[in-house]
Amino acid sequence: MAESQADNEEHDAILKMRMDAMLNSSPASFLSLVGALFAVYVYWSPSTAIPLIAWQLVITAVAVTNLVSTLLYARNRPQRWGARSWARFVCVMHLVSGLAWGVGGAWMLTFANENQAVLTLSIGMAAVTVSIPSVVYLRAYNLFHLPIFWTYALGLALSTLQFKWLIASGFFLMGAFAIIIGRALGDQLSNALHLSMENKRLAERLKDRGAELEAANRQLEIESHTDPLTGVANRRRLMSFARAVRGRCALLVVDIDHFKSYNDSFGHVEGDTCLVAVAAALERSIRPDVDLLARLGGEEFAVVLNGVSAEEASTIAERMRVNIEALKSARRARIKRDVTVSIGLAVRGADETRSLAALMEQADVAVYRAKSEGRNRVCIGGDVEGNRNVA
């Protein structure tokens, strides 16, 4: 059933492309008005006036209908009409037009002199030539040209023209061969339409695939720079961000106090919950899109504060310490016991060029000093070496 639906959709899409080609050529109907006026002028006489006027009105009505239908089609009116409805309408109009030209021309040929016959045959052949775009929809093309060729052949057979049977046979054969030629051209155009549809589908698939790959690449980029547990940046992202920071900044190293005992007491699942809560508290304490929070590993985090002075950095670090200390009282954090952090701070002035590694070393020293001085505090790094053996 899925294949049948897909085939129907493809058939309708190709049929719409055929209707586009045919209806866009409908302005050529204006030429039929000119041809009809020439014929009326050549054949006009008191005895033929009424039939000629009636025939002219039919040709005019068909031409106007074709032109109006083109405007309606371009505006998608009526909206309930799909490609199949327009195809039926086009077939009817081609049949009516072919009969109008064929029957009218055949009638004129029955009493035409040689000069009049030449004009009539020329107008008929011009009408068939102008209708060649209709070969994209072979049914409509045949409904137009066959009435012209074969009724012309009948009119020639009934005429008094010299070589009438020879000319009539030629027109009959042209109608038959037009079917064969039209089928060949129609098959080629159908193949071209199929290829066009395939190319369009392929382009859409490539576009969708490109969008999927782009999204996957973005996700991989995010994952390659994100800590999978806490969702904050990882060490790689920290290094990239820090290299881009110029001038004044601060680097904070944040270490959770007694985290090993927390894990031992409550298990690694609760330990992970604690890490996530601490990361969220740290992230709430910094400026989005300006500063960066990263997890260095284990219970240790780093924060880069961009464009801050030592005083501003100390204020932010203290805010971090307070926010984490308050986690136990926040039910949403699901912390099992009081959690505190020791924070080491290193500041780079506007005119300094110290690297991230140098700042990290200084902040790391400050963290160990904060632990040695009792934990749950902020220490600013300097030249004083801290005790690195604090548990």
SS (H, E, C) 193-205: HHHHHHHHHHHHH
- Contact assessment for residue 66 and residue 26, using Cβ atoms and an 8 Å cutoff: yes
Helices (H), the chain: 2-24, 29-43, 49-74, 83-111, 114-130, 138-157, 164-224, 235-244, 259-266, 268-284, 310-325, 356-372
Q: Which residues pair with 249 in a beta bridge?
A: 306, 348
pLDDT, one tens digit for every residue, the chain (391 residues): 444 555 555 556 666 666 666 666 555 677 788 889 999 999 999 999 999 999 999 999 988 888 888 788 778 888 888 878 888 888 898 899 999 999 999 999 999 999 999 999 998 888 888 777 777 778 888 888 899 999 999 999 999 999 999 999 999 998 888 888 777 776 776 677 667 767 877 888 888 888 888 887 877 776 678 998 999 999 989 988 888 888 899 999 999 999 999 999 999 999 999 999 999 999 999 998 899 999 998 999 999 999 999 999 999 999 999 999 998 887 666 888 999 999 999 999 888 888 888 999 999 999 999 999 999 999 998 643 433 333 3
Q: How far apart are CA 356 and CA 242, in angstroms?
A: 6
Q: Which residues pair with 354 in a beta bridge?
A: none
Q: How far apart are CA 44 and CA 106, in angstroms?
A: 16
The pLDDT of residue 28:
64
Q: CA distances (Å), 73 to each of 28, 59, 77, 82, in order? A: 16, 21, 6, 10
Nearest in space to 128 (alpha carbons), one of 248, 263, 223, 28: 28
Q: How far apart are CA 31 and CA 391, in angstroms?
A: 98
Positions marked catalytic: 299
Tokens 């009505």 belong to which residue? Answer: 61
Element (H, E) at 341: strand 341-348
CA dihedral angle for residue 307, residue 311, residue 317, residue 323, rounded to 10 degrees = -110
| pTM of the full structure | 0.52
Q: How far apart are CA 353 and CA 203, in angstroms?
A: 51
Q: At 76, is the secondary structure helix, strand, or coil?
A: coil
Q: Which residues pair with 306 in a beta bridge?
A: 249
Q: At 26, is the secondary structure helix, strand, or coil?
A: helix
Q: How far apart are CA 55 and CA 40, in angstroms?
A: 9
The pLDDT of residue 3:
46
Structure tokens at 162: 């010299």
Tokens 């902020």 belong to which residue? Answer: 378
